Amino acid sequence: MITVAAPEAQPQVAAAVEEAPPEAVTVFRSKLPDIDIPSHLPLHEYCFARAAELPDAPCLIAAATGRTYTFAETRLLCRRAAAALHRLGVGHGDRVMVLLQNCVEFAVAFFAASFLGAVTTAANPFCTPQEIHKQFKASGAKLILTQSVYVDKLRQHEAFPRIDACTVGDDTLTVITIDDDEATPEGCLPFWDLIADADEGSVPEVAISPDDPVALPFSSGTTGLPKGVVLTHRSVVSGVAQQVDGENPNLHMGAGDVALCVLPLFHIFSLNSVLLCAVRAGAAVALMPRFEMGAMLGAIERWRVTVAAVVPPLVLALAKNPFVERHDLSSIRIVLSGAAPLGKELEDALRARLPQAIFGQGYGMTEAGPVLSMCPAFAKEPTPAKSGSCGTVVRNAELKVVDPDTGFSLGRNLPGEICIRGPQIMKGYLNDPEATAATIDVEGWLHTGDIGYVDDDDEVFIVDRVKELIKFKGFQVPPAELESLLIAHPSIADAAVVPQKDDVAGEVPVAFVVRAADSDITEESIKEFISKQVVFYKRLHKVHFIHAIPKSASGKILRRELRTKLAAC
C-alpha cells in the first residue's frame, strides 16, 4: 500500500501576478495563458492520444541499431507487454522495477505498467547491489525488468529473493531480461518471447483514478537519504501538458521533430521532458543507451535530431570539443539544459557553436513533477530569455519566493527559497508523512530548498541552495548517505560531506573526516571503502582530516563552515 501525507486541496490559481503589499504573498505566474489539462486521463491514454492520426510516423528509434517503431507499432508493443505482465500477476497498484539503460524496452515497459494501473520505479543499473536492493525493498517491487549483464548484481546481494521464473512467492523473484533468447540467464524470462506470446486483447480494463500512482522515482529531496516520490497520473499528465500542450506550447515540438534521448530515463528530466513530452507531441525519440561523444554526434547527424535535452557537462562538451566540427548538427533547433544550473559563459559558448539553435534552461526537481520553469524562447510563439535565467514559471502553476528563515513572501529581485504549487507536484514521499509534511506545507506549496529570485521580466534565476544535496553532472549525491557509510567504518569517529565546485561535473563530493582514537586511516583507504559501496558519481573526490566536525547546539552539521574551509584549501 502506498501511503503519503496528502496536503490540503490546492486553491484555484489567480489570473495574474499579484503585486501585493509586503505582508501578503507575491505570486508569480507564467507569461503564457493557462490551458485545459485533461488530467482525468490515464497517462498512457493521454500520451498516445495522437497515435491514431500518426500511425505510420516514427515514435521510438533505437539510435545504435536503427530499428524504428511507428506510433502504431509502439502502442501495440505496450499493450502486448501489459498483457504479458498481467499474465505474470502484475495488476493495479503493483510496482515494477526497471533496471535498464535507455532502450525501447524501457519505454514499452513504462507504458505497459500504466495500462495495468501499475507503478514503475526506475533504478540506475550502475548502482551497487546494495543501492539497488534498498530501492527494490523500499518500493515493494513485484518483479524486475533488466538486462542479463545486471542479473549478477541481483544475485550478489544475499537479501534479494531467489531468482526463479517457475515459482511465484515471497521467497522468489521474477526477473525479465531484454536480451536474445540464448543470452537469457538461468531462472529469468525473455522479454521479447513474452511479448510474442501475448495477446493485446487480454489486457484487462482497469479503473484508474487520476490520483493513482504511475511513477515512483527516488530522490533525496532537500536532505537525507533517497525516498520514493509518488507521482500520480494527474501529476505526470499535468507536468507534460504544462510543457507541450495548448495553442502556444512552452516546448514546441510535434510530428517531424526528433528528440534526442541520451540522458538516462531513470532520471525524471529525461523521462518526462524527453520521452513523455515527445510521444504526447507526436515527435520521434532517438534512444541512446549511454553518453559517448562520437556516438551522440553521429546519432544527431544520422537522425536529424531537432530537440536536444542536455545537462551542463554535455553543454561543455558540445561547446568546447573540437570533434563537434566534424559533424553536421544543423538540424538542431532547440537545446534544453536542465538538472543543474548553467553559467552565462557556457551558454554563450554553445550559442556560438550552434548559432541556428535556440538555447535555454529549464529548472525542476523530481518532487515538482519535475519542471518549475522553462525558457520562453522554446515556445511556438517565442519570447527572448536572458542568459543564465531558467525561464518563466510553467503554466497552470504558481511560484513564490520566501525568506528561508522567516517564511515571509519576498518580491521581485530578492533572493529566497523557491516554492511551487500546482497540479504537477508529487502526491508525497512513499510511506514517509514526516518528510512529506516538511516539503509540502498545509497550503500546498512545495519548498524546493533552492535559493533564487524572479526579476522584473518574470524570469527565474537560481543562485544558491538551501538543501544539502550535491549535484554531480546532474546526478543526486545525498551527503547523508555517504556520511552514514563513513561513520560505519571503525576507524572513523565522525564525518561530513560537502560539495566542491568543479568545472566539468559542476560539483563533486568531498569528505571531512575525524579519525577514531589511535587510527591512522588514510585518504586512499577511505575513498576505496566508499567506492566499493556506491555508484560512480557518489565516490569521494577528496578527503580532509579534521579534529572535529562543526555542529550547532542541536547537533546539526554546519556545512557552510566546511564549505568555507574547503574554499580556503
Q: What CA–CA distance (Å, rounded) separates 285 from 60?
A: 5
Please compute the mean of the pLDDT values over residues 122-130 and round it to a whole number: 94
What is the DSSP track for 59-107?
A: EEEETTT--EEEHHHHHHHHHHHHHHHHHTT--TT-EEEEE-SS-HHHH
pLDDT for 22 beyond 60: no
Please compute the mean of the pLDDT values over residues 9-22 and round it to a whole number: 42
Span 180-207, pLDDT tens digits: 877 889 999 999 999 999 999 999 999 9
pLDDT for 467 beyond 80: no
pLDDT for 13 beyond 90: no
At 195 the pLDDT is 96
At 4 the pLDDT is 44
Pairing mode of beta strands 392-393, 371-374: antiparallel
Span 541-564, pLDDT tens digits: 999 999 999 886 556 788 888 988
What is the DSSP track for 423-440?
A: TTS-SEETT-HHHHHHHB
Q: Which helix (H) or strand (E) holds 150?
A: helix 148-156
Span 384-415, pLDDT tens digits: 999 889 999 999 999 999 998 889 999 999 99
Span 286-325, pLDDT tens digits: 999 999 999 999 999 999 999 999 987 788 888 888 889 9
Span 445-455, pLDDT tens digits: 999 999 899 99
Residues with Cβ within 8 Å of residue 147, at least 6 apart in sequence: 99, 100, 101, 125, 177, 178, 179
Q: What is the DSSP letter of 557?
A: B
pLDDT for 7 beyond 80: no
Domain ranges of the chain: 470-568
End-to-end CA distance of the chain: 49
Q: Residues 14, 29: contact at Cβ < 8 Å?
A: yes
Pick the CATH number of 470-568 from 1.10.10.350, 3.30.70.1350, 3.20.20.80, 3.30.300.30: 3.30.300.30
Please compute the mean of the pLDDT values over residues 26-47 and round it to a whole number: 96
Model confidence band, residue 517 (pLDDT cutoffs 50, 70, 90) = confident
Please state, rounded to an integer, the average pLDDT across all residues of the chain. Answer: 90
Residues with Cβ within 8 Å of residue 66, at least 6 apart in sequence: none
At 480 the pLDDT is 79
Within 10 Å of residue 172's Cβ, how many Cβ atoms?
A: 15
Within 10 Å of residue 156's Cβ, how many Cβ atoms?
A: 13
Radius of gyration of the chain (CA): 23
At 327 the pLDDT is 94
